[in-house]
Every structure is written in C-alpha cells, then in structure tokens.
Structure 1
Amino acid sequence: MLGVLAVDGVLTALASAFLLPLRLGSVPLPVSMLISGAVNAALVWAALQCTPSIRVAALPLWTWLATVLGLTFGGPGNDLVFGGVGAMSYAVLALIVVGAVPAALVLRGAQSVRDR
C-alpha cells in the first residue's frame, strides 16, 4: 500500500508541474499548487493509517519532492518544465511550499499526537 501511495506522490507531482502554467485568459491561474497540497496531505494521512512510523508515512511526500526537484533540471533537448516570466518565474518555489506544507503539517500533527 505504501508503494502505491509513493507512486501517487510521483503522479501528483507530474500533474501539478504540467498544469502549473494554466491560465485564465492572460492571468496565470496556478490552481494545481492548491490541489497538490491537498492531495499530498491526503496521501500522507493515508500512509499514516498504514504504518505506525512517521518517517515511513512521509514516503509520498518524499517522492513528490524528489519528482518536483527532478523536473527542475533540463531534459535531453535542454527543455525545461518550469519557466516563465514575471510571477511564473517563481512558480516552482511556490509549488514546493504550497504542495509540501500541508503534508508536513499532517505529519507534525501525527507526531504530536503520538508524543502524548
């Protein structure tokens, strides 16, 4: 089950990265950041139901982060997944923060409950 959740973390990272430049007319609408944060929190919560270890339950978050960081490198033709001008040039940083913080808060909450 944890392997499936880890693969889901990779798929979530791919979907959020490729939908990041979504626009509504000429206005950037990076709604994939918010969806990614909610899905990551749900994946970590599901992993917490499968294992008593907080470190192991973070596996979907780690695979998500590794995939997003891997996508920051150029491809074979020097193609970049992340890029843009203006506010979109910082979109990858916002994606990492907005996508990872909810899952980290779920892990922190589980840790504080288990410490009691």
Structure 2
Amino acid sequence: MAAVDSVRGAYADSPLARPVLALLALDGVVSAIIGAFLLPLYLGPVPFPVSAVVSGLLNAALVWAASHWTDSKRLVALPLWTWLAAVAVLSLGGPGGDIVFGGPGIMGLSVLILVALGALPAAMLLRRLP
C-alpha cells in the first residue's frame, strides 16, 4: 500500500493534469463502445464475454492512471463515470429501433454482464485508494 501512497497525485500540480484527465475520460467512453460492440462474440456456440473482462481491466488501468494526475477521488473516478454514462446511452434504443444490448438467452442479460464485469475492477481499485 505504501507504493500507492507515494505515487498518488504525483503530477497533480502539472499544467497537463486537466487535459490528461479529459483524455482518460474520453478513453472511458471508447472502452464502453468497444466493450459493448464486441460483447456478443461467441466461442463456438457459447457466448463468450471476453470484451467485458477486458473493458473491466482497462477501466481499472484508467482509474489507476487518473490517480497519478489528481488528488481528488472524484476526479480519479472520472473514467469510470464516463464509461458508465456511455453504457447507459448505449442501452437506449436507436432512432430506427436498433438496440446494442439484447438477444436470445444469456445475451438478454448482456448489459448486466458488461456493467458487472466492466465496473467492478475499477470500483474495487477506487475503494483501495487512500
């Protein structure tokens, strides 16, 4: 835990802190879009939500990177909040009735799988930060 304390907010006083945090927030949106569109991948006849796991690991990495650029825990969570907002927007129907999440069987729960596996690692990391 001492290693996390010594690195946290190391670049908080840098003039690049705000642009970097904005880019990390944008990366959270990109992670949600890629994770959502690659979620219905199959391994043979079985749905295999590898993109949800990858999205969760990427979100944890984005939160970890944000912790280097600010001392505020609210701003550290910015990539996770933008990821959750993008998933919420993607769960709404499109103009022609198009949907991103849904399908037969387990794919009907795809949005829950993505939120659980995508947000849990970053949320756990946020709880561990001092």
1:2 to 21, 41, 51: 21
Alpha-carbon deviation of 1:25? Answer: 2.1
Number of residue equivalences: 111
**Unpaired runs of at least 5, structure 2:** 1-19
Percent of residue pairs bearing the same amino acid type:
59
The TM-score with structure 2 as length reference comes to: 0.84
Letter in 1 for 2:28: G
* TM-score, length basis structure 1: 0.93
Amino acid at match of 1:6: A
One-letter code aligned to 2:103:
G
- 1:75 aligns with 94
Q: Which one-letter code corresponds to 2:78 in the other structure? A: L
Cα deviation, residue 24, structure 1: 1.8
Cα distance in structure 2, aligned partners of 1:67 and 1:40: 13
1:51-75 C-alpha deviation (Å, 9 max, x unpaired): 0011111000000000001001010
Q: Which residue of 2 aligns with 1:64?
A: 83
Off by >6 Å, runs of 4+ in structure 1: none
The structure with more radius of gyration: 2
Residue identity opposite 1:55 in structure 2: R
Distance 1:107 1:29 in 2: 27
2:12 is aligned to none
Q: In the alignment, does 2:116 pair up with 1:92?
A: no
> Structure 2: how far apart are the matches of 1:16 and 1:5?
16
TM-superposition CA deviations, 1:71-108 (whole Å, max 9, x none): 01010101000011111111110110111011011111
Match for 1:61: what amino acid? L
Structure showing the higher helix proportion among its residues? 1
Render the CA deviation track for 1:14-50: whole Å, top value 9, x for unaligned.
0000000001222111100100110000000000010
CA RMSD of aligned residues (A): 0.7
